[in-house]
A and B are shown apart, each in its own frame.
Chain A
Amino acid sequence: MANAHTHAIVHVHGASGIQPRLDLARIALYAVLFACAVVFLMPVYVMVVNSFKPLDEIRSGNLMSLPIDWTVAPWLSAWSTAQIGVEPTGLRPFFINSFLLVIPAVVLSTLIGALNGYILTQFKFRGANLMFAAMLFSVFIPFQIVLIPMAKTLGFLGLAGTVKGLIFVNTVYGIGFTTLFFRNYYAAFPAELIRSARMDGAGFFGVMLRILLPNSTPIIVVTVIWQFTNIWNEFLFGASFSDFSSYPLTVALNNLVNSSTGVKEYNVHFAGAFIAALPTLIVYMVSGKYFVRGLMAGSVKG
């Protein structure tokens, strides 16, 4: 009887879906979710706590425990004095490289995507669908297949081993995604708005600048976040086309962690990894909703 009573009360709240009940199953549900959350958070927890420990505390102590003797020395070392390859530069110059790469590449690929989305949805011309399909498939290709000719091209253009070369590469291979995002967004754009603007005499750029772009904030945010995350985290192009002066942060971090000879400075590695993770983590925390939307738009193609 008591059970039927609680059921009835809960029923009022949970109108659809599976009904919540306050019983053992419910407790088990939270226990499992909580355990999973702990596992998912653990690597970052380990990264953070150990980045504040002196090295001998990591060697003699438990990776899971909080620091006894807190220190910011590993952070300072990872940032400005750690060995990257043969030079004691720390990650700072490469952090700057990554920003110098990401900002123009994101801006360029987003603008191109917006323009392509506009053209593909508002104008009819032969081969448009075929070109869109070709751009769509380009986001899936294994980039190993373009490494050799792209290396030759960058050499020919005098862009080998430069941040500019990486901007070019990341922009080109970002066009598929950005075009997809904007095309799908503009395909659902109210046609009357565009028609009435045309009646008022707006031309090609008038429609784009006065009607489409001012109403594109959500998709611009989605695209910028998506491209920022992808290019910031990119490794293969960076490893193939840059040299010491133009390494992006991911390549420098990998050098710091994997090429260090002698003493393994775990605390410096963790601090360095966290420095590399921070920009995209901040973006995720501030605008996770848009990040998820980008993931969904990127996964459910067509």
Chain B
Amino acid sequence: MKAGYLPKLLFSPSVFLVLVCVYGYIMFTIYLSFTTSTMLPQYDWAGTANYTRLLGLDNWQVSLGNLATFAGLYIVIAMALGLGLAILIDQKIRAESAFRSIFLYPMALSFIVTGTAWKWLLDPGVGLERSMHLLGWESFSFTWIKDSEMAIYCVVIAAVWQTSGFVMAMFLAGLRGVDTEQVNAAKVDGARTWQIYLRIILPQLGPVFVSAFVILAHMAIKSYDLVIALTNGGPGRSTWLPSVFMYQYTFTRNEMAVGAASSVLMLVAIGAVVLPYLFSEMRKVKNG
């Protein structure tokens, strides 16, 4: 039905809010990144000076390096674990829904809660290390969270714990949609279970791999709460991510223009991951 004025009128507040508070603000922040803003927004043109400064900053390079380590491990481990759990759960097991619920419940928690729980679990003074010592394993050592070389891996552990159940649910939905005729035919031919998975089932899950990758990559780039609660960026700046950098420079170091530039680069990174995916999804819907 062609729209009269009423639907358009009622749709317009949402259009206004999204255009202003999403796209307008993005433009504003991009603009700020080319100004001399420090503590408050200022509108004197600075050219690309902030980007030059940003890329040369040690803190930014550390943040980027940490993001590469964190995102790489987080995506690979969460996907592998999620897929593994989904395959195990798909074996016609008993208490399937109980297992599913247990693997997925961390998704319902706040990253601040997750961070708090893992902060003390990984703390050598009260957590796992101490428990192992009390159980008689005196030489057990686990001090990653206090070690600036290793602390970023603690962020990976907590993030994987929180989200691999979600990846499992995505793969499980994919597995349940696999063409059973092909699987049965292969079974009649005497194919072994692992061969069936490798040759028939996994290739059909291609779209799930892509979706899971996009979701996890964009979550990794946006990660902030978990780092704040788990390590607060430390020890030192060893677990800074671009999100932490942005907040620090914008709100505590009075370098708003540099902070704005860092958030623009975060947006570019997310756009590079998400936009091709969204376009291809929308084209599928149009053609399907």
What's the least CB distance linking B113 to chain A, in Å? 5
Chain B residues touching A, range: 35 or more
A240: contacting residue among B24, B108, B251, B267, CB under 8 A = B251
- Chain A residues whose CB sits within 8 angstroms of the CB of B274 once the complex forms: 137, 140
Within 8 A of B (CB), among A15-45: 16-20, 29-30, 32-33, 36-37, 39-44
- Chain A, residue nearest B158 (CB): A43
Q: Once the chains bind, are A125 and B134 in contact (CB under 8 Å)? A: no
Check B222 for interface membership: any CB of A closer than 8 A: yes
Q: Once the chains bind, are A296 and B282 in contact (CB under 8 Å)? A: no
**Interface hit among A80-88, A159-167, A170-178, A209-217:** A170-178
- Chain B, residue nearest A134 (CB): B18
- Chain B, residue nearest A116 (CB): B14
Q: Once the chains bind, are A33 and B99 in contact (CB under 8 Å)? A: yes
Q: Once the chains bind, are B93 and A146 in contact (CB under 8 Å)? A: no
A235: contacting residue among B107, B117, B224, B285, CB under 8 A = B224
- Chain B residues whose CB sits within 8 angstroms of the CB of A229 once the complex forms: 108
Within 8 A of B (CB), among A253-302: 253-254, 257-258, 266, 269-270, 272-274, 276-277, 280-281, 283-285, 288, 291-292, 295-296, 299-302
Within 8 A of B (CB), among A115-161: 115-116, 119-120, 122-125, 131, 133-138, 140-150, 152-153
- Chain B residues whose CB sits within 8 angstroms of the CB of A240 once the complex forms: 247, 251
Chain A residues touching B, range: 35 or more
Q: Once the chains bind, are B108 and A283 in contact (CB under 8 Å)? A: yes
Within 8 A of A (CB), among B215-274: 215, 218, 221-222, 224-225, 228-229, 232, 243, 246-247, 250-251, 256, 259-260, 262-264, 266-267, 270, 274
- Chain B residues whose CB sits within 8 angstroms of the CB of A3 once the complex forms: none
Q: Once the chains bind, are A115 and B10 in contact (CB under 8 Å)? A: yes
- Chain A, residue nearest B40 (CB): A152
Q: Once the chains bind, are B26 and A43 in contact (CB under 8 Å)? A: no
Check B198 for interface membership: any CB of A closer than 8 A: no
- Chain A residues whose CB sits within 8 angstroms of the CB of B140 once the complex forms: none
CA distance A258 to B264 in the complex (A): 29
CA distance A47 to B101 in the complex (A): 19
- Chain A, residue nearest B243 (CB): A144
- Chain B residues whose CB sits within 8 angstroms of the CB of A120 once the complex forms: 11
- Chain A, residue nearest B99 (CB): A33
A137: contacting residue among B10, B118, B187, B278, CB under 8 A = B278
Check B77 for interface membership: any CB of A closer than 8 A: no
- Chain A residues whose CB sits within 8 angstroms of the CB of B251 once the complex forms: 240
Q: Once the chains bind, are B211 and A300 in contact (CB under 8 Å)? A: yes
* Chain B interface (Cβ < 8 Å from any Cβ of A): 1-3, 6-8, 10-11, 13-15, 17-19, 21-26, 28-29, 32, 41, 85, 88-93, 99, 101-114, 116-121, 126-128, 130-131, 134-135, 161, 165-166, 169-170, 173, 180, 183-184, 187, 193, 196, 211-212, 215, 218, 221-222, 224-225, 228-229, 232, 243, 246-247, 250-251, 256, 259-260, 262-264, 266-267, 270, 274-275, 278, 281-282, 284-285
Q: Knowing that A133-B278, A148-B260 are A-B contacts, what are 13 other residue pairs whose CB atoms are under 8 Å apart, sorted by A's residue number?
A: A18-B196, A20-B91, A43-B114, A122-B1, A124-B1, A137-B274, A144-B246, A145-B29, A149-B25, A172-B21, A175-B14, A257-B116, A258-B232
